[in-house]
C-alpha cells in the first residue's frame, strides 16, 4: 500500500475502503480522545494587584524561556487580579474571563478575540467558570455585591440567566475570589466564595438556583477543599484570625467546615498554627491539603513562621494530629503554599511562594516528601496565593494539520493552502512538521518525504498526541525568540487581534466585539453613560 497515509494515534497504515460512516465515527472517536487527554496543570500566582500565569510545558518546565537569562524562565503573562478560565464557546480551548470580558483562547496559553465585553463597571468583580447547565460549554459566575450567572454560547457570548435565586454576600461585600465546585457531590456545581467575613457557600439547588449558607470568621484567607471525614462530600479548610481579649492578643487558627448532606456546613474546632511570627498582614496565606503520607487521609500543610511549614496529619474523621514542623531551605515566611502533582508523575509536588524569593517548586520523591535541593525557580512577584489552572495548552499531533486523526497527503496539501490560498490554520504547531518554529514550504516537503521517501517522521509529539515541551528555536520572527507558534483558530502566527470599539463601523474591523454586557451594580450608583 505504500505510505500514503499514516494514522496519527497509532502510526499504522489506515484503511481507505471503509464506508464514510465508519470513517466519520473514527474521526469523532479520535477527537474525543484528544479532548479528554490529560494536560499538565498550569500555575497561577496571585500577587498583590496582579495574577501571573506560568504555563506548564511538561518536563518540569514552566513559562517561556527568556533568551537573555540563560536557564531561567519567566511568566507567560501577568494581569490585573480577578480572572477565571473556562471553555466558554465549547471548542476545547480554555478562554479567559476577566474585568474586560471573555477573551477566546488560542489553545497555547494565549488569548485573542474579545468576544464579550463588560462595560459600565463601577466595582471590582470576581469570576468563576463551570458547566452549570450540562451543555458542554462553561458558564460564568460573576461576583460583586451578589452573584450573577451567565450561560456560555458557542460564539463566546453570554446569556444572562434570569429568574433564578442568586446568593448575596451582604456581610462581606465584594467577594475577592469565587470558585465553582460540587461540594455536596450531587452533580451540580456550587459557589464557593471568600469575602472579608470568611468563606461563603451557595449550594446549587438545581437549574442554577442557589441557596446561601454563610460561615466563617473575620480575617480568613482563601479556602481549600477536600473530603476530610471520608463521607463522600467535599469540606472546606481555611485560615482564621482569632482575638483574645484578656490579655489582648491575636493568633492564627485553621478552621474546617464539614459539608453535610442537608446542604449545610458544620464548623469544626480550630487548629492552632504553632510558632507564628509577626507577619506583615496579620497571618500567612500558605495553606494546602493533600494526602502527604499516602494513607488515604487528607492532611493539611500550612505556613508556620520563617522557613517553616506545619504539617497536620489527618485522622480520616475530620480531625488531625498535633502538627509537626517541616524546615524549608529558604528562611523566609511562606506566603503561599500549594501541594499538587504538577509534573503528572503520581507524586505530590510542593510550590511555595516567598516574600522576597518568588515562587519555587520542589518536586515530589518516592518514599518521602519532596526534593528540596533542585527546585524550579519561577521568580516573579511576591505571591499571595497559588492556584492551579486546568491546562491551557491543548494537545496536538505534529503533522496532523487538518486534525482528522491521520497524517497523510491531505495534511501536506492543507499546509500549502495555508501558505498560498489563505486557508485558516487550526493548529500552528501541528502544521510546523519539522518543529522549526516557522510554518513554511519546508513543512509540506517534510511530510511528503516522510510519506513517500522514508524520510524522518514529524517531530514530537508524534504519533501520539501531546504537548510541545521545548520552545521553538528563534525562527519565529513575528513572535520573537523562544515562543511556540501555538494552536489557534483565529491566527496564523498567534498574533493578537485588537477588537473594535462599540462605536466603530464593523465593516472597518477584522474582529468586532460580538456582545457588550452592562455590569454596573445599582447599589453602588452606576456611572453616567
C-alpha span between 157 and 516 (Å, rounded): 9
* Set of cell numbers at residue 407: 497524517
CB of 361 within 8 A of CB of 375?
A: yes
* Set of cell numbers at residue 448: 511528503
C-alpha span between 432 and 194 (Å, rounded): 44
Strand-strand pairing, 515-518 and 111-119? parallel
Q: pLDDT at position 227, please?
A: 93
480 burial type by CB count under 10 A (0-12 exposed, 13-18 middle, 19+ buried): exposed
Question: By C-alpha distance, which of 226, 165, 172 is closest to 199?
Answer: 172
pTM attached to this predicted model: 0.73
C-alpha span between 394 and 396 (Å, rounded): 7
Question: By C-alpha distance, which of 396, 398, 422, 407 is closest to 492?
Answer: 422
How would you classify residue 355: left for phi > 0, otherwise alpha for psi between -120 and 50, otherwise beta?
A: alpha
From first to last of the 529 residues of the chain, give the pLDDT tens digit: 333 444 444 343 333 333 433 333 333 333 333 333 357 888 888 887 778 888 787 778 776 543 333 334 456 567 666 789 999 988 778 899 988 899 888 776 777 778 898 988 888 888 999 999 899 999 999 887 777 889 999 889 999 887 555 555 544 455 667 889 999 999 999 988 876 666 778 888 887 777 765 554 444 556 889 999 999 999 988 877 677 777 776 667 788 888 988 888 888 877 877 655 544 444 556 889 998 888 889 999 988 878 888 899 999 999 999 888 899 999 888 889 999 999 888 899 999 999 888 899 999 998 888 999 989 888 777 888 888 888 777 678 899 998 888 999 999 999 998 888 877 777 778 888 888 777 889 999 999 999 998 889 998 888 888 766 555 543 333 333 334 455 543 333 333 344 555 566 656 555 667 888 988 888 778 887 6
Secondary structure (3-state) at 204: strand
Which strands form 177-181's sheet, in the order they lie side by side? 177-181, 190-195, 198-204, 210-214
CB of 110 within 8 A of CB of 486?
A: yes
Cis status of the peptide bond prior to 191, with omega within 30 of 0: no
Residue 450, phi then psi, degrees to nearest 5 = -65, -40
Residue that has been written with the C-alpha cell 488560542 in this structure: 106
CB of 361 within 8 A of CB of 351?
A: yes
Alpha-carbon distance values, 80 to 46, 294, 360 (Å): 10, 38, 22
Q: For CA atoms 164, 170, 176, 177, give the dihedral sign.
A: negative
Amino acid at each position: 500500500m505504500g505510505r500514503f497515509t499514516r494514522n496519527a494515534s497509532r502510526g499504522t497504515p489506515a484503511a481507505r475502503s471503509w464506508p464514510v460512516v465508519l470513517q466519520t465515527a473514527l474521526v469523532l472517536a479520535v477527537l474525543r480522545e484528544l479532548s479528554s487527554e490529560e494536560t499538565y496543570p498550569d500555575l497561577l500566582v496571585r500577587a498583590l494587584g496582579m495574577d501571573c500565569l506560568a504555563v506548564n510545558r511538561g518536563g518540569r518546565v514552566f513559562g517561556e524561556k527568556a533568551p537573555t537569562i540563560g536557564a531561567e524562565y519567566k511568566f507567560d503573562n501577568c494581569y490585573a487580579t480577578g480572572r477565571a478560565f473556562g471553555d466558554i464557546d465549547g471548542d476545547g480551548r480554555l478562554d479567559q474571563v476577566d474585568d474586560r470580558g471573555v477573551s477566546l483562547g488560542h489553545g497555547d496559553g494565549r488569548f485573542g478575540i474579545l468576544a464579550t465585553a463588560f462595560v459600565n463597571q463601577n466595582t471590582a468583580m470576581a469570576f468563576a467558570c463551570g458547566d452549570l447547565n450540562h451543555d458542554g460549554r462553561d458558564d460564568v459566575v460573576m461576583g460583586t455585591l451578589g452573584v450573577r450567572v451567565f450561560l456560555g454560547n458557542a460564539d463566546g457570548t453570554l446569556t444572562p440567566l434570569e429568574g433564578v435565586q442568586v446568593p448575596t454576600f451582604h456581610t462581606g461585600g465584594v467577594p475577592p475570589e469565587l470558585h465553582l465546585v460540587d461540594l455536596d457531590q450531587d452533580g451540580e456545581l456550587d459557589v464557593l466564595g471568600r469575602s472579608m467575613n470568611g468563606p461563603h457557600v451557595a449550594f446549587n439547588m438545581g437549574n442554577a438556583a442557589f441557596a446561601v449558607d454563610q460561615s466563617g470568621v473575620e480575617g480568613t484567607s482563601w479556602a481549600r477543599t477536600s473530603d476530610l471525614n471520608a463521607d463522600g462530600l467535599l469540606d472546606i479548610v481555611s485560615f482564621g484570625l482569632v482575638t483574645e481579649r484578656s490579655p489582648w492578643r491575636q493568633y492564627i487558627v485553621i478552621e474546617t467546615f464539614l459539608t453535610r448532606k442537608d446542604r449545610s456546613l458544620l464548623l469544626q474546632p480550630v487548629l492552632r498554627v504553632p510558632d507564628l511570627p509577626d507577619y506583615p498582614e496579620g497571618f500567612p496565606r500558605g495553606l494546602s491539603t493533600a494526602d502527604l503520607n499516602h494513607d488515604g487521609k487528607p492532611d493539611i500543610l500550612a505556613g508556620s513562621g520563617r522557613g517553616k511549614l506545619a504539617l497536620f496529619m489527618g485522622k480520616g474523621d475530620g480531625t488531625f494530629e498535633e502538627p509537626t514542623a517541616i524546615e524549608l531551605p529558604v528562611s523566609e515566611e511562606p506566603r503561599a503554599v500549594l501541594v499538587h502533582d504538577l509534573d503528572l508523575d503520581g507524586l505530590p509536588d510542593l510550590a511555595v511562594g516567598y516574600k522576597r524569593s518568588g515562587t519555587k517548586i520542589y518536586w515530589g520523591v518516592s518514599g518521602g516528601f519532596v526534593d528540596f535541593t533542585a527546585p524550579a525557580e519561577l521568580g516573579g512577584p511576591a505571591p499571595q496565593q497559588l492556584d492551579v489552572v486546568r491546562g491551557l495548552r491543548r494537545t496536538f499531533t505534529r503533522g496532523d494539520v487538518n486534525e482528522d486523526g491521520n497524517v497523510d497527503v491531505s495534511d501536506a496539501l492543507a499546509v500549502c493552502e495555508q501558505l498560498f490560498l489563505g486557508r485558516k490554520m487550526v493548529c500552528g504547531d501541528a502544521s510546523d512538521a519539522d518543529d522549526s518554529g516557522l510554518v513554511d514550504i519546508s513543512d509540506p516537503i517534510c511530510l511528503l518525504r516522510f510519506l513517500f521517501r522514508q524520510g524522518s517522521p514529524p517531530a514530537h509529539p508524534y504519533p501520539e498526541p501531546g504537548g510541545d515541551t521545548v520552545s521553538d528555536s528563534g525562527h519565529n520572527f513575528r513572535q520573537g525568540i523562544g515562543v511556540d507558534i501555538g494552536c489557534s483558530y483565529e491566527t496564523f502566527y498567534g498574533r493578537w487581534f485588537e477588537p473594535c470599539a462599540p462605536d466603530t463601523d464593523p465593516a472597518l474591523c477584522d474582529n468586532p466585539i460580538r456582545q457588550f454586557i452592562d455590569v454596573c451594580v445599582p447599589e453602588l450608583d452606576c456611572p453616567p453613560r
